[in-house]
Amino acid sequence: MEILVEAAGWAGALLILAAYFLLSIGRVMARSALYQSLNVIGAAGFIVNGWYHGALPSAVLNVVWMAIGLGTLWRMKTAGGSSTSAM
């Protein structure tokens, strides 16, 4: 079980870093479905890892981070479409 929790944490970290890197080099926009999805899935990995290790500030931060991403994805979907491209 512990190996899965650690894998979730590392995968979460990599996804959030990838999202930030892609945003920083202009390959995605902040309101793209790809950017938001990477952050949501990454936050989920951090939530699992933080909760398991009792790192509640990290877990709560990532619950909020995930909620922001999910809210953005929902607004994009209900607004009539989303883009996974950079521009």
The answer to the question of residue 38 being in a domain is: yes
* Per-residue DSSP letter, 32: S
Q: Provide the domain limits for residue 20.
A: 2-78
What distance in Å separates the CA atoms of residue 20 and residue 17, rounded to the nearest whole number?
5
Over residues 38-65, the pLDDT tens digits come to: 999 999 999 999 999 999 999 999 999 9
The answer to the question of residue 86 being in a domain is: no
* Per-residue DSSP letter, 64: H
Contact 81, 48 (CB under 8 A): no
Region 17-44: what's the mean pLDDT?
97
Place of tokens 């202009």: 26
The answer to the question of residue 39 being in a domain is: yes
C-alpha dihedral, 29 to 82 to 67 to 44, nearest 10°: -80
pLDDT of residue 83: 53
pLDDT band at 80 (very low <50, low <70, confident <90, very high): confident
The answer to the question of residue 37 being in a domain is: yes
